[in-house]
Amino acid sequence: MNPASSDTFSVWAPAAEAVGLVLDSPDADPVPMHRAPGEAGARGWWASDVPREPGRDYGFVLTGDDGEVTDPRPDPRSTRQPNGVHGLSRVHTVDAARWTDHAWTGRQLAGSVIYEMHVGTFSEDGTLDGAIAHLDELVELGVTMVEVMPVNAFNGEYGWGYDGVAWFAVHEPYGGPDAFQRFVDACHARGLAVCLDVVYNHLGPSGNYLPVFGPYLSAADGPWGSGLNLDGPDSGEVRRYIIDNALRWFAEFHVDALRLDAVHALHDGSAVHLLEELAVEVEALSAHLGRPLSLVAESDQNDPRLVTAREGGGYGLTGQWDDDVHHAIHAAVSGERQGYYADFGVLDALRKVLTGAFLHDGTWSSFRGRVHGRPLDTGRVPGSRFVAYTLTHDQVGNRAAGDRPSMTLSPAQQLAKAAIVLCSPFTPMLFQGEEWGAGTPFCFFTSHPEPELAEAVRQGRVREFAAMGWDPDTVADPQDPETFRRSKLDRAERAREPHARILDTYRALLALRREHPELGDPWLGGVRVETGSEAADERWLVLHRGRLALVVNLGTEPCRVPVAGTGLLAHDATVDDDEVFCSAYGFAVVRTS
């Protein structure tokens, strides 16, 4: 039995010579703890006979082999940090009596329409309760799953959440764990599934006390700091720490899916990769709870093994984000070719990703300077396992000024991109405000209280964007409170033109996808794409989905496309009996003859 699941205080600290439990105040005298007996003790667990009473504050002091005693530190498995990530932990238990979602049976990833949300900027309040007030807008739009950027506790008042250090706790400025319970319950009451973004590849730079307790971190540094010890000595408890965290969101907070951040940074040489082990345990929990549970990876590897079934040699994850689809669509419409867009933009690249998910599938990547990716077996892996989008928090916030496509592209260009994603064989995802072409930026913002860390983040962003060719003077200062405030959505835009017209078109596209099974068919083998001749400056594309076809002009001049049928939806386009006339970036969805 894992001592962490007991009703008394316990903690894993395999290298400590002694551990004391501090109760109620950091100045209290520590209560000595004892090594847990038997197998658990051999794994380095320390236990106490003191019961875990809800609402009680506590921490641990550890004595090292040099005799040094630490200050009181929060519990690595803390479920609440009411005084920030440096303060004492507080015992918190999710109150099962508060749930009203007893009739909720869950939602599969396949067939879903995802909406990515950042709690701090989605509403004026910047809280989970503030987000609840706008959930009906998402239902009306046609969204069926809300993906929430990380809510685990991090230092500072606001930020993106990817520098969390208390993985089991909910960020207090968002409302804490009770507010997250209310949010999930409110989503389920409206038929919305909840996907939570979690980060298991690194920890934030402030408040990370895990190394004080044990060998949680590896010696290898990743792009955001030290990675997790997944295959070294004592890695079994570290893996258990991650898996228990994932299972807690599903079982205790009733979430329906987890988005696993940057899994390519999980360095694991074990025979059974952490992702496969996690998939096995989540599948077992799904069977126990009687509702579908999904794992969706973010990966830079273009490796279909992530979403290939375990019996087929894969890890068995439910889905993965697909940046190649984004890059192909954005480059084709915007004309951008800097950085990782260099290999994209031509119509043949767009054709390839729409029929095979990846552009780089064992091909040369000029941005990386090497061969990248692995081919996808389109007969075995459905398109619904790939999440497609025209923008995400990364693709906006990791631009120098946090500028959305709406700031540089016309409404017609924005809608042409949306039409391709929403008529594709993939699982579509929108980013907050995209549906009305929000004019507010979404910048990278932080609120690190430590001056040295704040300056390091500022300089790091400037260096990063300089390497991408952006003018350093355009880089938004992540520590400036105004950078955060400017990133909040302005819902008053929704009633003004051209935003209202963009919103109406998004609604119509999502209704079309909902009403016509052809558009939700995930079989990639049934997708057919025709394109014009770029040599002849014919930048049109026809995406065939059964008897439906999306005709879209990706050029700056009007064009006529020889597709016969009946128009179901058109924007800046007209449908005749034997052709579709599209203005620049116009599109039409046609039922073919």
- How confident is the model over 322-342, as pLDDT tens digits? 999 999 999 999 999 988 899
pLDDT band at 452 (very low <50, low <70, confident <90, very high): confident
> Which CATH number is 3-73 given?
2.60.40.10
Q: Which residue has the tokens 């924007």?
A: 571
Of 366, 387, 310, 391, give the one whose Cα is nearest residue 114.
387
Q: What's at 405, amino acid-wise? A: P
Average pLDDT value for the chain: 94
Q: Which residue has the tokens 């667990």?
A: 45
Of 553, 519, 295, give the one whose Cα is nearest residue 417.
553
pLDDT: is 461 or 534 the higher one? 534
Beta bridge partners of 148: 117, 196
pLDDT at site 158: 95
pLDDT at site 257: 98
Mean pLDDT of 407-429: 97
Q: How far apart are CA 210 and CA 77, in angstroms?
A: 10
Residue 89 in 3-state DSSP?
Answer: strand
pLDDT at site 171: 98
* Spatial contact of 192 and 143, defined as CB atoms under 8 Å apart: yes
Q: How far apart are CA 581 and CA 588, in angstroms?
A: 9
Identified catalytic residue from 147, 237, 261, 435:
261
- Cis amide prior to 304 (ω within 30 degrees): no
E runs forming strands in 179-283: 193-198, 217-222, 225-228, 257-260
Q: What's the CA dihedral at 94, 97, 98, 100 to 10 degrees? A: 120
Helices vs strands, H then E, count in the chain:
16, 27
- At 270-327, the pLDDT tens digits run 999 999 999 999 999 999 999 999 999 999 999 999 999 999 999 999 999 999 999 9
pLDDT band at 221 (very low <50, low <70, confident <90, very high): low
Q: How far apart are CA 425 and CA 520, in angstroms?
A: 6
Q: What is the pTM of this model?
A: 0.96
Give burial (CB, 10 Å; 0-12/13-18/19+) of 391: buried
Which two three-digit tokens encode residue 322?
A: 């697909």
pLDDT at site 2: 66
Beta strands 386-388 and 427-431 are: parallel
Q: Is 261 a catalytic residue?
A: yes
Q: How far apart are CA 42 and CA 14, in angstroms?
A: 8
Beta bridge partners of 31: 21
Q: How far apart are CA 556 and CA 572, in angstroms?
A: 12
Q: Is 394 a catalytic residue?
A: no
pLDDT band at 468 (very low <50, low <70, confident <90, very high): low
Identified catalytic residue from 172, 298, 324, 435:
298
Which two three-digit tokens encode residue 457?
A: 């983040």
For 468-478, b where at least 16 C-beta lie within 10 A, e where not — what string?
eebeeeebbbb
Residue 532 in 3-state DSSP?
Answer: coil
- At 81-98, the pLDDT tens digits run 999 999 999 999 999 999
